[in-house]
Amino acid sequence: MTRLSVNINKIATLRNSRGGNIPNVAEVAIDCQKFGAQGITVHPRSDERHIKRQDVYELKPLVHTELNIEGYPSEDFLKMVIEVKAHQVTLVPDLPGQLTSDHGWDTIKNEAFLKEVISRLQENNIRTSIFVDPENKIIDGAARISTNRVELYTEPYAKNYHIDREKAIAPFMSAAKHAREIGVGVNAGHDLNLDNLNFMCKNIPNLLEVSIGHALIADALYYGLEKTIQKYLDCLK
């Protein structure tokens, strides 16, 4: 069964909009795990507009499943994730101030840089994943730099799912199959939701983990957090 990691950035966004500590990010992380989530994802950005650096340090001892930290591998980011001993680090090519992730790494152009970063993380016993578009040549590049996993950037799939879902899933199936053949694990994330998640999982049997935040937290406004997590877990069965 594909594992569900809940991205709690949006909880921090709501908290930061008023200051103080409501909603409490740490308590939400604890509850997500209690309700069945198999991981917690955070994406601390340099402007701290949602998850703050202090949140990362406070969350680590509370996450008994898996703490996945996403971010651009700047020196301060790498220092933080190594200090907290993240279970998994997902490297994304976001620029400072970027609203949200909108493309994957060019593993060919950035081969030397990524290889050095990944080696440094793995020396500290941190599993690495890199955010990529579903292209076989990019997956080949990921294998050359020895990343443990890739995270397929799924916004194009989500965008085209209701237009032609067979066509939308095709490049992701191909990329995941190729990754499996060359020994690279496959995660996925971005704009996955209750409508499109099950179809992806049915068609990508080697999918190890999905990271879902925006849609899941939005659904929780209607269904409640516990019921929402159960709905997403049902999609993954």
Q: Please give the tally of structural domains in the chain.
A: 1
The answer to whether 190 is a known catalytic residue is: yes
Of the residues 66, 70, 151, 209, which is catalytic? Answer: 70
Q: Which domain holds residue 205?
A: 3-236
**Mean pLDDT over the full length of the chain:** 95
DSSP, res 95: P
What is the mean predicted confidence (pLDDT) over 226-235?
98
Give yes or no for residue 98 having a pLDDT over 70.
no
DSSP, res 104: -
The number of C-alpha atoms within 13 Å of 11 and in the hemisphere containing its C-beta is: 26
* 30-54 tens-digit pLDDT: 999 999 999 999 999 988 999 999 9
Give yes or no for residue 102 having a pLDDT over 80.
no
The predicted model scores a pTM of: 0.94
* 104-127 tens-digit pLDDT: 899 999 999 999 999 999 999 999
Of the residues 50, 87, 178, 190, which is catalytic? Answer: 190
Confidence of residue 95 (pLDDT cuts 50, 70, 90): low
CATH number at residue 13: 3.20.20.70
Q: Please tell me the distance from the alpha carbon of residue 91 to that of residue 235, in angstroms, as a whole number.
A: 26
Please give the structure tokens belonging to residue 35: 């309700």
* 127-137 tens-digit pLDDT: 999 999 999 99
Q: Please tell me the distance from the alpha carbon of residue 44 to that of residue 9, in angstroms, as a whole number.
A: 8
* 182-212 tens-digit pLDDT: 999 999 999 999 999 999 999 999 999 999 9
Of the residues 43, 50, 87, 178, which is catalytic? Answer: 43
